[in-house]
Amino acid sequence: MAEIIGGTSLSGLLNSMNNNSYGVLLSEVVETITPIETNDTNTVINTITLPPNIGTIMESSINLRRILDGDGTYSTIKVGDFTEVGKIKIYGDYVQNSVDLPKFDLSQVVSLNTNIANFKFILSLKNGDEAPKLFASKDVMIDLIAKYGRKEPIPVNYLINQRKLVVIDLEPLNLLTEQMIATELSINLNSNKNVEVSRNLFTYTNYVSDADGNLVANPSYDLNELIKYISWVVTKPNQNYNERLLAPNVIGEWVSTINTDSGEDEPSTDTTNIPDTNTQSGNTGSGNTGSGNTGSGNQTDTGYGDGDNTGGGGGGSD
């Protein structure tokens, strides 16, 4: 019996979607044998029927990034939080030529003043497996909303796609801070010399004494401090080298104490947040790439707009 196998490319699409963990299981696909009109009565065609929600499933990939794990396998993580809320119809040169493009809800993106966020990409902050938190500058958000209003969905959907999001995983950063805190608490802070760090970039240690008089940490986090630092990192460096430096007390706070056994005329020295002008953190990066995918791959890509600090995309994507 001759057999015509139809929908080969469609089967490939479904297999690809299943391998990319976009939410489609091959068990959901219904295979049927459908007779067709032909001069050969022994010929049948094998067709594949898609699930009714296939459109929504495919569009969910705007939030999902595929990354290569250390063991050589791929996994999928959620880096965006955009839900389709409608369609925008755009036309070609003739009214007969049109296509419906999805419109997504942008309300999950936190709009920040430009003194905090001056980059031109969407920033996705993750903490391990927790849901991502999205941030953008006020200027970018105004522009995106205006483009949707003018029925220009292509540049908006381009920028919010997972490939263009700049993703930073906070989990390894928090682990480093926890190690620093543990090291600090393991030393004798009542010794002659010590430095007590109260803020490390965006992490506040919040040291307090417990009932036994021992110091314990209750860390808290200020993401605005981290986002301001990211803005500085991706901003094109000033041509004047001295103006591209950050003093240590801009990205941290501490108290250093030197106890002496001198007489009453020579009291202890307590120095708080006095930066060493010869020890500064410099922005030595060149250009304006928006990288920074900690723990989520690393790929620099050109993002949105014509400004200097254009967004770069994520890493490890297909």
Q: Beta strand pairing status for 123-126 and 109-112?
A: unpaired
**Cβ-count burial 137-157 (b if 16+ within 10 Å, e if not):** bebbbebbeebbeeeebeebb
Q: Domain ranges in the chain?
A: 3-51, 58-169+287-311, 171-282
pTM: 0.63
137 token code pair: 């500058």
**Residue 6 to residue 17: CA distance in whole angstroms:** 19
Q: Residue 37, exposed/middle/buried by CB under 10 A (0-12, 13-18, 19+)?
A: exposed
Q: What is the pLDDT along the chain (318 residues), one digit of tens a residue?
A: 443 333 334 444 444 444 443 333 333 333 443 444 555 556 554 554 544 544 444 446 899 999 998 899 999 999 999 999 999 999 999 988 999 999 999 999 999 999 999 999 999 999 999 999 999 999 999 999 999 999 999 999 999 999 999 999 999 999 998 998 888 888 765 555 677 788 989 999 998 888 888 888 899 999 999 999 999 999 888 888 877 788 888 888 888 776 655 444 444 455 555 445 444 445 444 333 333 333 333 333 333 334 445 444 444 444
How many helical (H) and strand (E) elements, i.e. helices and strands, does the chain have?
6, 22
Beta bridge partners of 31: 48
| Nearest by Cα to 200 from 281, 294, 115 | 281
**Residue 150 to residue 157: CA distance in whole angstroms:** 14
